[in-house]
Structure 1
């Protein structure tokens, strides 16, 4: 299997967004510029959301202006949570993907984007239209994709129903997101193959959060489910600041790389640049 059909998405935005102390813009730029040279398919680099909600990402446009995109094939992904964010992000020619967190939990959708599922669906429709006009691709995260800690009903059929609705609207990339770290290998092995076979014209990815001890079994379950797009973050930093209080971090990229290498996957990554980024991360995350 070549790298072309295995997409690794590195998520420094997700790693940084919950940090209490503001990371200086020039340090963000230095870190992202290193990650851009590693050879990931996509870099989830920033978000166009309310600076009140996520102060850490208030400088996303400034950061973008200083990224060195001349010698990288890595594509840029920005997260948006409402129409204003979509319009801001769509103006930037160097952004390839806009990502929207669409929760199948009404409670969490309100908590995360301050809008209902119905309102969010209309934001997705607007995003699809603006992406088409601005030569970008829309990516939708099905958040709460593995369960619901808020008491809203959850089952595999509900996940499939919303996937169906989004695909029918024209969404070409769906990433099943485990916002609060409650996925299990069994759930991953059940729902992913169902989505991949049912929506075979759609790119299905996975965005997992996990405690360190459960990471490998989740990565293994995702791999054997046939997924070809995996989100992760260096050292497993980060998580969703709008979700739980005791944050389960992202899946650690080095674990994903190690696992895929052990399966004989050819990832074509520049590990020297990766190691430099690992060292530099200490200045950001402590």
Structure 2
């Protein structure tokens, strides 16, 4: 395509909200242009979150006629935070074809122009981190420890770990049960319940990649940090024997403590948020691309 053809196309590029009718072509675009390991069908399922919420859109896209040129996915949720109903918008996959990268900021502006949301960006990379900082995003403390998942004999502990969906639903109560039902069908969320004596701890993790190796688990949610601290070793062993992951990545802000026998990552992946009402301690990783998109 000639330079003059590209220039003419520039005038016909539109920024549009992603609706349900656009999901299939947006999913195909993300498969082709961003991550081909994820099938179009998986992308389509991820774009439509498993929880119930009145979403204004699924993000925004750049289009020229029927052609998708760029996408910025967004996941919305409404949450009670200290008794107040808060609206969240999680900024997710951002991809623009090479020829139209100069138009990419239009997508970000369209998402951030929506009033009344706390915005989270839980996987910014490259220049996006500094761009977010200029737009008043704050960094979360993502100090991360890597824990080897050594096998642990079952007879040596009073702890049981279960991952069967029916058993999990029977064990959980209150807000834990609500979170589980909201995320039970989220493609990237895996669920455990840790049982010890008369207590339980609900844990959500995702499979993660480091140096292109899908051999890690990242802990996204810990419902009972005190019990998790006591029972962590059988959990790591369960992740190895049941899910085949060799190490677990644990953020101190998620677990509530620094795991024993762990190694601190030199450069933990950044996570950011922008809010006029909430503090960093009130931001978690639920209802986001981390639970929906299986990289």
Would you say same fold, with TM above 0.5? no
Larger gyration radius, structure 1 or structure 2: 2
**TM-score, length basis structure 2:** 0.28
Decide which structure has greater helix share.
1
Decide which structure has greater strand share.
2
